[in-house]
Chain A
């Protein structure tokens, strides 16, 4: 394996990664850390399937080089559940039938968790806008929005 060796801190564990500079964070998580829960949908930064949380912010791991994440705290879908206990958002996805093939699902989970941790006072409309940043071809989105609101109840957006 060519390239420099550096550390990635993912879900509280350190991984020594040897990778060329051009390797993306998404590829490094999958290939070098063995964390294949992060999926790559378009590798162009549009679909959001590869979303992970880096230092508290949801980012598209296809648009970040692995080296850029050195020293950062990275969270992936594998870190959401506490042992067998699902994160409330994961449970809400089950309850709302908010996934079908499940390929885009980790990206949506990390997007929602990251966005709401970053801005806990987000309104329902703002949350709806956040959800429009990722693509899903199976569900038609309504169930995803329902799951997000169930896990993170929002005060109703005041009428104008």
Chain B
């Protein structure tokens, strides 16, 4: 591991051991290990009622009538509401999506409850409130909905064909948007190219599949006429804003809290119709309500990421340098927009980033289909872009007779180019500037770890034994730390404890611990004296967890706020003790003299002094209290990078692929906690392995979901995990004072590309090309059979 110089928290004489940068134990662990975690379904309130939704069994249908008469008479039922019943309680019947874009041709926001038409299987039609979930589900089954089934469209390319059935009755076509990326003279590059390689790619991605589904508890507070909401969401601020708008309430009338979150992985960053409906009905009934998503609902209605169809070509110089890339991408976004165009945007923007690509054009068409809305899943379009880019490079290497690592080395952005401005814009218009890193060195590290140089001999020896092993590689760049900011307030309480609150939201990655480590070194370095409050919406400005951003943006604000509070602590203590502030330090909950003196004050004494005394000047400070709120604004993204080298063994008789070893070299800037970084990588790697070989959310031609249990939809288990060797390099970014970049999505991004490359290598005598993900044993076997000329 490289020990790059670290910016950030300064060394202080006399302080305890530094916490920043070390694999310290997590603050989160003990409660979670002893059954004392508090997840949303653990929230219990007096008089709590349960909610279940009536959901459409059809992918597309007109709703002729909804009859709740029988259902309302069922045991335990308190209320049943349809769209018409809910409408008077809301300022809008639809959940307006985040991320507006001028490229969007049709406004297709999700209804809170469907009124006249359902556009995907699982869309909610009515809400049932009953004493227990059993009773609510019984009553939901008894709600009689008269549907008139309509033709459905179940895949993106079909949706865009002339004469395709309409996904929504009111729309003239299913083309949601077209947009493009282009720079350089791409057609001229192709006209002059020494080599051109072409391929079509079919890339699927499935669901988030946090082990905890979504859920919401909403409780009216009649004393203060407020609403308290607990939701299993990655973005409590967005939920609060949507609730205030849609319920016609003020910012201070609704509080949203996030209990322990049982995983996020993207789908929980979206505000959902169920959260709006449950809260509105709780306010209407004056009763606390709970809705917990069950696993089947997660499969049906939690957002997923979705199929991308790419038709691409790459032009190359005679020496293997890339001259240009052009092509088209069709993206299937499902029935509604919940997060604008940001997944296909990210795919198009990220495609070329690790490499020097002089010209580029990508035409993107976004299709509506009768499927659950698609929004980011961990990786957010970047794994697909990486797959396309890396596979094109493998095709080019074969065409030119170059080693796959060599062709990459000739094209990678080099350390001396950093910071490297790309002729591309982030979705907000900011330039894309790769900030730091040594991409060729990262590739070399992964190759060395994997034994790339000596692999040909191992492969030949295995082939002698009748085994087909292969090695494949993929580089990636991950855009992290999406701005503009996250708010962090640090306060030393009158009890002398350090309290940190922020809208940044835990998703399970250990954010409490990371925030503690960032703050602690400035304020006594005692984890036991620090309380971290995440997902806090008392402060009105904030975002939450997505885009591998929180350690970057909330970390930067936490560092700044902790430094400001430290300054105040030392100023007040210096005033009280009659010494210079620089002669003091904070150790645990004490402010101590460092220059030989042995006087001290407790943080509690300093905090009490800092609040002031009526009629007296403040003690050594201009503003009262030991508190600071910071919102460090960072517009540019910090780019992490890495390289994965996967080794596979392919069973030619069955098409079965086993990933046997993985070398993963990466650079996410300065690491706050290396063990947690490794945890992020390992989890991402497991998901990426699933994307490469297993996870397929299948729908039939009528838009019916076919994989709605874990017996049908395969998550990776421990049995599929290869031996993984991770190597870390730390190239600090200049974009924040800590030098940190995000890492939450890195693991997933190169996996499908590296595994596909390895399968090709294992079957190189047959010329098999894996151009899809996931690739099933049946598909591998079919490719082998086709390559063998149909012989068994």
A interface residues with partner B (beta carbon < 8 Å):
2, 20, 22-23, 30, 35-44, 46-47, 49, 76-78, 80-81, 86, 90, 93-95, 97, 99-106, 109, 128-129, 131-145
Give the chain A neighbours of B211 by CB distance below 8 A: 39, 41, 47, 49, 101, 103-104, 135-138
CB pair B711 A99 closer than 8 Å: no
A44 to B684, CA, bound (A): 25
CB pair B29 A99 closer than 8 Å: yes
Which one of A30, A81, A141 lies within 8 Å of B721 (CB-CB)?
A: A141
20 other A-B residue contacts (CB within 8 Å) besides A37-B37, A137-B263 = A30-B42, A47-B710, A77-B33, A77-B34, A94-B26, A94-B33, A97-B26, A97-B676, A99-B32, A101-B212, A102-B32, A103-B260, A103-B508, A105-B33, A131-B718, A137-B209, A140-B682, A140-B684, A140-B721, A141-B686
CB pair A132 B33 closer than 8 Å: no
CB pair A37 B34 closer than 8 Å: yes
Closest to B42 in A: A36
B778 contacts partner chain A, Cβ-Cβ < 8 Å: no
In the A-B complex, the 5 residue pairs with the smallest Cβ-Cβ separation, listed nearest first, are A37-B35, A101-B508, A102-B32, A103-B262, A140-B682
Closest to A144 in B: B718
Give the chain A neighbours of B686 by CB distance below 8 A: 137, 139-141
CB distance from A3 to the nearest CB of B (A): 10
CB pair B679 A97 closer than 8 Å: yes
CB pair B717 A102 closer than 8 Å: no
A135 to B28, CA, bound (A): 20
A77 to B756, CA, bound (A): 41
CB pair B717 A135 closer than 8 Å: yes
CB pair B294 A43 closer than 8 Å: yes
CB distance from A50 to the nearest CB of B (A): 11
B residues 204-244 with Cβ under 8 Å of A?
209-212
B719 contacts partner chain A, Cβ-Cβ < 8 Å: yes
Taking A44-B711, A94-B30, A109-B33 as contacts, is the C-beta distance between A143 and B212 under 8 angstroms?
A: no
A17 to B263, CA, bound (A): 31
Interface of A is mostly: loop
What are 24 sample pairs from A and B whose C-beta atoms fall under 8 A apart?
A20-B134, A35-B35, A37-B34, A37-B37, A46-B711, A77-B33, A77-B34, A81-B34, A94-B29, A94-B33, A95-B25, A100-B263, A100-B510, A101-B263, A102-B28, A103-B37, A103-B211, A104-B211, A109-B33, A135-B715, A140-B682, A140-B686, A141-B718, A142-B682
A76 to B32, CA, bound (A): 13
Give the chain A neighbours of B30 by CB distance below 8 A: 86, 94
Give the chain B neighbours of A40 by CB distance below 8 A: 41
B433 contacts partner chain A, Cβ-Cβ < 8 Å: no
B295 contacts partner chain A, Cβ-Cβ < 8 Å: yes
Closest to A40 in B: B41
Closest to B208 in A: A137
Closest to A95 in B: B25
Which one of B23, B260, B718 lies within 8 Å of A97 (CB-CB)?
A: B23
CB pair A102 B34 closer than 8 Å: no
A128 to B262, CA, bound (A): 24
Interface string of B503-539 (1 = CB under 8 A from A): 0000111100000000000000000000000000000
CB pair A137 B675 closer than 8 Å: no
A135 to B295, CA, bound (A): 13
User: A20, A23, A94, A140 — which one has the most chain B CB atoms within 10 A of its CB?
Assistant: A140
Closest to A132 in B: B719
Which one of B134, B681, B715 lies within 8 Å of A22 (CB-CB)?
A: B134
Give the chain A neighbours of B718 by CB distance below 8 A: 128, 131-132, 141-142, 144-145
B617 contacts partner chain A, Cβ-Cβ < 8 Å: no
CB distance from A150 to the nearest CB of B (A): 14
CB pair A139 B39 closer than 8 Å: no
Give the chain B neighbours of A41 by CB distance below 8 A: 211-212, 295
B residues 521-579 with Cβ under 8 Å of A?
none
Give the chain B neighbours of A105 by CB distance below 8 A: 32-33
Give the chain B neighbours of A135 by CB distance below 8 A: 211, 710, 715, 717
User: A38, A44, A46, A101 — which one has the most chain B CB atoms within 10 A of its CB?
Assistant: A101
CB pair B679 A143 closer than 8 Å: yes
Give the chain A neighbours of B263 by CB distance below 8 A: 100-101, 103, 137-138
A42 to B75, CA, bound (A): 26
Which one of A35, A102, A140, A145 lies within 8 Å of B33 (CB-CB)?
A: A102
